[in-house]
Amino acid sequence: MSIELNSKVPDFTAASTGGEFKLSALKGKSLVLYFYPKDNTPGCTTEGENFRDLYAQFAAVGCDIVGVSRDSLKSHENFKAKMEFPFELISDPDETLCNLFDVMKMKNMYGKQVRGVERSTFVINKKGVLTQEWRGVKVPGHAQAVLDFVGTMKD
């Protein structure tokens, strides 16, 4: 079962670089939850850098950012430190969140079909409602588009 747009996101707890992440702990803040395929790969690094570079502007409008992939916490901690990300990364090796947000897809890699994370971004408002989603994200300009959307949110 995946989450529908404009519906409440069930509370979840997950292991992150900042310790246990709990959605319900974000009282009064909205959240950008972005799913990416793999730490330390070119597109994922660029996407993280773009969110990092706009982080202060997201914070200014009361929005937090969290990245999610299937990588281990150790991999995430190294990636976060290397890239100086001011936000946390969630480790989802059992694909609990990936399945909740329906981001696991069959993709072509070097002519082979592989199951992986489709680069996707979700905005959850202060009330815990999924208000926007981007699927099959292309990295250039994406973080700015998300910021532009978040800046228009009323709640």
Structure tokens at 115: 């199951």
* Pair type for strands 63-69 and 130-135: unpaired
Q: Which of 44, 54, 68, 98 is catalytic?
A: 44
**44 counts as catalytic:** yes
Return the structure tokens found at 72. 């281990």
- Find the distance separating the first CA and the last CA of the chain, reported in whole Å: 26
Q: What is the identity of the amino acid at 73?
A: L
Neighbours of 63 (CB within 10 A): 24
In the numeric block, which tokens belong to residue 151?
């800046």
Read off the tokens for 37. Answer: 């395929």
Rounded CA separation 33/101 (Å): 10
The residues, ordered by sequence, that sit 6+ positions from 117 with a Cβ below 8 Å of its Cβ are 35, 36, 37, 38, 69, 70, 98, 103, 104, 105
Catalytic residue ranges? 44
